Amino acid sequence: MTDYYNYIKALHLIFVVTWFAGLFYIPRLFIYHIEADQKPSPEREILSHQLKLMTKRLWFIITWPSAVLATFFAIWLLFLYPAWLQQPWMHIKLAFVLLLIAYHLKNHQIFKQLQRDEVKYTSKFMRIWNEGATLILFAVVFLVILKGTFNWIFGVVGIIVLGVLLMLGIRLYKRIREKNPEA
């Protein structure tokens, strides 16, 4: 079975990439949907219909299958190498994976609300929410690559600094957008 390790690992990574692609793009579509809800009729209905279709396709054709397959191949890898479960870095990685799954499920809840034309969040909130997957991705990649050599204090500080930089970027983009609505 270990002969297939690299194939399983490659498939795991491919589906992690496509899962994150979906998680990066779905909140962006939510933002467009929320902003379309504030447009006058018939533009609102036309945009809403198109955005519902786009999010539905992204969510059920790319994001959900990728999440399931990435998880399947991850479990297979852990089955092949159960000793990884004894490693401290793996415990922290799995905690971030659980956070990622919670983020995914919350996106599913928002998806269902918008499919019913229930707008419960602002586009500003969604712009901040959109960065959740980015923070989780940074944490997981650094954990996996650096493993035991990773200094946890620098890691935590790095994630906080990244979060602050992302928030500053969002504020800067908001100012640019206010000056130039087409940006």
Q: Specify whether the CB–CB gap between 39 and 47 falls below 8 A.
A: yes
SS3 content of the chain, % helix, strand, coil (to 5): 85, 0, 15
Q: Binding-site residues, please?
A: 12, 93
Say if residues 9 and 77 touch (Cβ distance below 8 Å).
yes
Alpha-carbon span 6 to 178, nearest angstrom:
49
Joined tokens for residue 182: 């087409």
Which of 100-136 are b and which e, b meaning 16 or more Cβ less than 10 Å from the residue's Cβ? beebbeebeebbeebeeeebebebeebbebbbbbebb
Question: Please, are residues 131 and 166 in contact by the beta-carbon 8 Å criterion?
Answer: yes
Binding site membership for heme: which residues? 12, 93
Take residue 24 and report the two structure tokens written for it: 């990066």
Q: How many residues does the chain have?
A: 183
